């Protein structure tokens, strides 16, 4: 009987304070991949992103039971995108699927992602249709996030697309050259431009713990997406400068004629001093905001010039340290 050369599917999940969810996600991934064992082997890489609970101990326990389960432990919390990057850097598969470890990204759609890949798509995105039990405010913030990023950046991200995708190994190879520190994988992968498709899904309700996607983190994500893929804010500052020059001239002219008419009894309600004071206050606010935007771009350049590693690994369950 001819031996079938199985393809290897790498699966990557970042984990931050997910001790209770680790056994559940591992069990679910194994259950799904067992159904594909005739054609595919798999490895599951879990990256502990400086958790303060027993997440690393839970990963070690699963790795001891099954050599296909692999763990990477950061020396501290480096962030979700760095944890994903570390997992992708160590993936050996013909294709890699990455998803969160809280089971909100359902492993039961892995076969659909793989099917699309086998049809010839190099990138298979997922698109969340709805999330079970999602609060209204969180849904509102999510919608606002996509609108802001798409408005100001040069890459388009469809609403509902998150860090839940399949990448062919050639895409992973190109992605590995992109080592910027302010990482935004949702934008970096579309920027690469490979042939892609979309699989829709309904997100599960989180079983244990709380989501790390807070308003602050969404704001940081939006900032990363805009600064990494667009100079539109800088262009808008230039347009704003021209607008303010013209507005200043109009206010001065208006103030001059207002003072003139006040002397002969007209427009007694008009106060040129008050108007100029308010305009100057408004102008200073815009100037400080503009300087803040410029500072964000400069700070990004500063961190890139430092050329520090994206992450530091303190322990792992396989191989030599990279």
How far is the CA of 58 from the CAs of 21, 105, 219, in angstroms?
9, 20, 31
Q: Which residue has the higher pLDDT, 318 or 206?
A: 318
* Mean of pLDDT values over 31-38: 93
Beta carbons of 43 and 93 less than 8 angstroms apart = yes
pLDDT of the residue at 264: 45
Confidence grade of residue 266 (pLDDT, cut at 50, 70, 90): very low
Question: DSSP for 26-41?
Answer: HHHHHHHHHTTTTTEE
- Residue 140, token pair as written in the block: 């509102």
The answer, yes or no, to whether residue 12 has pLDDT greater than 70, is yes
Q: Tell me the pLDDT tens digit for each residue of 98-138.
A: 999 988 899 999 999 999 999 999 999 998 887 665 555 56
pLDDT of the residue at 199: 93
Tell me the average pLDDT of the chain. Answer: 81
pTM assigned to the model: 0.76
pLDDT of the residue at 162: 81
By C-alpha distance, which of 17, 79, 85 is closest to 45?
Answer: 85
pLDDT of the residue at 198: 92
* Mean of pLDDT values over 298-303: 76
The answer, yes or no, to whether residue 183 has pLDDT greater than 90, is no
The answer, yes or no, to whether residue 283 has pLDDT greater than 80, is no
By C-alpha distance, which of 295, 179, 160 is closest to 227?
Answer: 295
The answer, yes or no, to whether residue 319 has pLDDT greater than 90, is no
Of the listed ranges 16-25, 177-186, 193-202, 309-318, the least confidently predicted one is 177-186
Beta carbons of 196 and 123 less than 8 angstroms apart = yes
Question: DSSP for 180-213?
Answer: -SS--HHHHHHHH---EEEEEEEEPPP-SS--S-
């Amino acid at each position: 009987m001819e031996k079938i050369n199985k393809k290897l599917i790498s699966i990557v999940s970042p984990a931050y304070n997910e001790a209770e969810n680790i056994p559940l996600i591992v069990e679910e991934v194994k259950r799904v991949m067992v159904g594909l064992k005739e054609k595919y082997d798999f490895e599951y890489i879990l990256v502990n992103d400086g958790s303060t609970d027993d997440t690393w101990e839970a990963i070690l326990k699963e790795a001891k039971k099954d050599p296909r389960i692999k763990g990477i432990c950061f020396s501290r919390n480096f962030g979700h995108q760095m944890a994903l990057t570390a997992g992708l850097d160590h993936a050996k598969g013909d294709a890699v699927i990455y998803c969160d470890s809280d089971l909100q990204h359902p492993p039961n759609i892995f076969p659909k992602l793989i099917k699309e890949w086998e049809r010839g798509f190099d990138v298979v995105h997922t698109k969340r249709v709805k999330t079970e039990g999602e609060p209204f405010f969180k849904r509102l913030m999510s919608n606002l996030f996509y609108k802001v990023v798409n408005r100001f950046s040069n890459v388009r991200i469809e609403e509902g697309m998150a860090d839940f995708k399949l990448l062919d190994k050639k895409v992973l190879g190109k992605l590995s050259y992109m080592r910027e520190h302010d990482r935004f994988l949702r934008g970096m992968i579309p920027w690469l431009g490979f042939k892609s498709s979309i699989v829709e899904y309904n997100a599960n309700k989180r079983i244990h713990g709380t989501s790390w996607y807070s308003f602050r983190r969404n704001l940081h994500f939006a900032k990363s997406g805009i600064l990494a893929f667009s100079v539109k804010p800088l262009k808008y500052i230039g347009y704003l400068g021209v607008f303010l020059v013209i507005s200043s001239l109009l206010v001065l002219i208006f103030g001059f004629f207002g003072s003139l008419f006040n002397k002969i009894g007209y427009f007694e309600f008009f106060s040129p001093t008050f108007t100029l004071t308010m305009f100057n206050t408004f102008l200073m606010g815009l100037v400080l905001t503009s300087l803040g935007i410029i500072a964000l771009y400069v700070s990004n350049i500063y961190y890139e010039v430092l050329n520090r590693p994206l992450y530091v690994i303190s322990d792992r369950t396989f191989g030599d340290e990279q």
